[in-house]
A and B are shown apart, each in its own frame.
Chain A
Amino acid sequence: MRLPKFDYRQPESIQEACAILLDQPDAKVLAGGTDLLVNMKHRVETPSMIVSLKGLRDLDYVRKANGMVRIGALTRLKKVYNDPFVAKKLPALAAAASSVGSYHHQTMGTLGGNLCQQTRCKYFNQSKWWRSARPLCFKAGGDPCHVAKKDQVCYSTYCGDVAPALLVLNAEVVLSGREGSKQVPLESIFSGVGKTPLNLEPGQILTEIVIPEQSADGFSTYKKIANRGSIDFPIVGAAVWTSASTGESRIALTAVDRKPVRTRQLEDFLKGLELNEETIQGVDGLVAKETQLMMSSIDSISYKRKLMGQLVKSALSEAMGGR
C-alpha cells in the first residue's frame, strides 16, 4: 500500500522542528513511523508535510539526574527496556515497552511515538477502498460514527501499551514549542476526544519523559492481554504501582477508552490498606464499576470488562509478594 504524497523535512533542532510545524498546521511529526505510516497508507492521516525527527539525535537517551529519570522522546522502546535502571527499578515501564508489537516495532518505535499514537477503530484502521463501502466516518472527515451509530462523535480506542505504565509511575512529559518548553503531567496530554486524542498545541513536540525516582521505590508491573503472544495491541492492559512504605497505589488501564485511564476510586479505596487476599478480594468488581467501558469496535466489551478487573487483581496479588 503506497504512501500518499507529502513534503518532507528533516529539521536539525527542536526549535526548527517547532517552527516548521507552526508554519504548516497540518504537518505531522514522524518518529519511528510504525504508527503514522500505517495510518497514512490507509489514508486516514494525510498530512501535507512530514517532519521527520530522525535528525534529532539528542533526544535519544535514558539518564538520571536530580532524583529524576529522564528519557528522550526519540528513545526507541528496545533501548528503554534494555536500560539497566529501567529493567531493574521500573519494571512496569520495562514490561510495557517490551510488550509493544513485536521485536521489530520495539526496535523501530520510539517512546514518544508510542505515547502519541493514534486511537484505533475497526472502521478506521482500514484501507481507503475498504472504507469506501461506508460513508466516511467522523474521525476520518465525515459525519457518522459507525460504532456509535450517530453523528459527530468518535469512540475510537486508545491502545498504547506504555502510557498506563508511565501513568502509574507518575511520569511527566516535556512539551517543547517555539516559545520554549514546559513540563506537564502525562495524563494531561490525553484529551479523551476520539477525533483528536492529544492535547498538543500547534507547533508542540513531546521531547522528554520524566519519571520521579521515588517511583522506583515500590512495586510496579504492567500486564497485557492480547490475542497472540506478540504483535497484537492489547485487548486490555493494566499497570499497577504500589508502595508499602507510603501505602499508596496507582492503577491505570489502556484499551478501555479514548485515553489511558487511572482508576482513582480504587486507588483511594486501597490507600493505607495492607494488600492481602482479603483486601484485594473485591478489586475486580471495583475496577469494573469505576471504569466506564467505552463502546468499541475493538473486541467485545463484556470480555474486556471481565479481563480488566482480573488483570488488576492479579497485578495486585503479585504486588503482595513484591512490595
Chain B
Amino acid sequence: MKQAIALTVNGDVYEVLISPNQTLLEVLRDKLGLTGTKKGCDLGACGACSVLLDGEAYLSCLMLAVDAVGKEIVTIEGLSEGGDLHPIQKSFVELGGLQCGFCTPGIVMTAKAILDEEPQPTEESVKKKMAGNLCRCTGYKKVIESVMSASGRMGGKQ
C-alpha cells in the first residue's frame, strides 16, 4: 500500500507517495530525480549510494525510505552551495581523486562524514573509514590524498 511521506533532503521538504518496500536510494533517484547518488550493487557492499543521514554516512540502498522520515538527508547535490564546489569536492577535482566518477559521489559523502566526525584524521583512519567505498579505477591513492588535503583545506575543523 502506498503512503505519503515527507523527506527532508538537502534542506528541502519533499512530499512523496511511496511503497514501504522502496529504499531511500530508489526514492532519491527515481522519485526525486536526485541521480547523483549511485547504485553500484544495491546490496550494501560498495558505498556508491552513501548519503548523509543526520550527518552520518548511510548506505541508502539498505535504508527504507519510510525509515528516513524525520531525518536530515544530504546527498551529493546538496553539498556544494550555490554552484561553488565544497572544499572536499575541490580537492578531489584538483588532485585527481576520481576517474570515471561513478564511485565519486559516495566517496565524497563518506569523506564529508569522516571529516565532520574527525576534522584532522590520520591517513590510517581515513583508509579504514573509506574502505566500504569501492573504486575500481583509481587504486585509491589519490582518493585518500584528496581527503587528507580537504582536511587541511578546511582548516581541520568544520
- Give the size of the chain A interface in residues (CB under 8 angstroms): 31
A279 to B9, CA, bound (A): 59
Name the distance in Å between B125's Cβ and chain A's nearest Cβ.
10
A294 to B20, CA, bound (A): 38
Q: Is A6 part of the contact surface with B, judged by Cβ < 8 Å?
A: yes
Chain A interfacial positions (CB closer than 8 Å to B): 1-8, 10, 30, 32-34, 37-38, 41, 50, 52, 54, 78, 101-105, 107-108, 228-231
Are A102 and B132 neighbours in the complex by a CB distance under 8 Å? Answer: yes
Q: Give the interface segment out of B57-65, B76-84, B143-151.
A: B57-65
A277 to B62, CA, bound (A): 46
What residues of chain A lie closer than 8 Å to B132, measured between beta carbons? 101-105, 230-231
Known contacts A6-B21, A41-B42; A102/B62 CB under 8 A: no
Are A103 and B128 neighbours in the complex by a CB distance under 8 Å? Answer: yes
A103 to B59, CA, bound (A): 10
Are A108 and B63 neighbours in the complex by a CB distance under 8 Å? Answer: yes
Name the distance in Å between B75's Cβ and chain A's nearest Cβ.
15
Are B23 and A102 neighbours in the complex by a CB distance under 8 Å? Answer: no
Are A5 and B57 neighbours in the complex by a CB distance under 8 Å? Answer: no
What residues of chain A lie closer than 8 Å to B26, measured between beta carbons? 2
Are A231 and B45 neighbours in the complex by a CB distance under 8 Å? Answer: yes
The prevalent SS among residues of B at the interface is mixed
Are B67 and A33 neighbours in the complex by a CB distance under 8 Å? Answer: yes
Known contacts A104-B57, A104-B59; A10/B129 CB under 8 A: no
What residues of chain B lie closer than 8 Å to A104, measured between beta carbons? 44, 47, 50, 57-59, 110, 132
Count of chain A to chain B residue pairs whose CB atoms are closer than 8 Å in the complex: 89
Are B66 and A10 neighbours in the complex by a CB distance under 8 Å? Answer: yes
Are B23 and A38 neighbours in the complex by a CB distance under 8 Å? Answer: no
Q: Is B72 part of the contact surface with A, judged by Cβ < 8 Å?
A: no
Are A230 and B128 neighbours in the complex by a CB distance under 8 Å? Answer: yes
Are B57 and A103 neighbours in the complex by a CB distance under 8 Å? Answer: yes
CB interface residues, B 3-57, toward A, < 8 Å: 19-23, 26, 42-45, 47, 50, 56-57
Known contacts A52-B67, A231-B132; A108/B58 CB under 8 A: yes
Are A7 and B20 neighbours in the complex by a CB distance under 8 Å? Answer: yes
Are A231 and B131 neighbours in the complex by a CB distance under 8 Å? Answer: yes
Q: Is B1 part of the contact surface with A, judged by Cβ < 8 Å?
A: yes
Most chain B beta-carbon contacts within 10 A, residue among A5, A32, A37, A41 = A37
What residues of chain B lie closer than 8 Å to A4, measured between beta carbons? 21
The 9 residue pairs across chains A and B that have the minimum distance between CB atoms: A102-B132, A230-B131, A8-B20, A3-B21, A103-B129, A104-B132, A1-B42, A54-B67, A37-B62
Name the distance in Å between B37's Cβ and chain A's nearest Cβ.
14
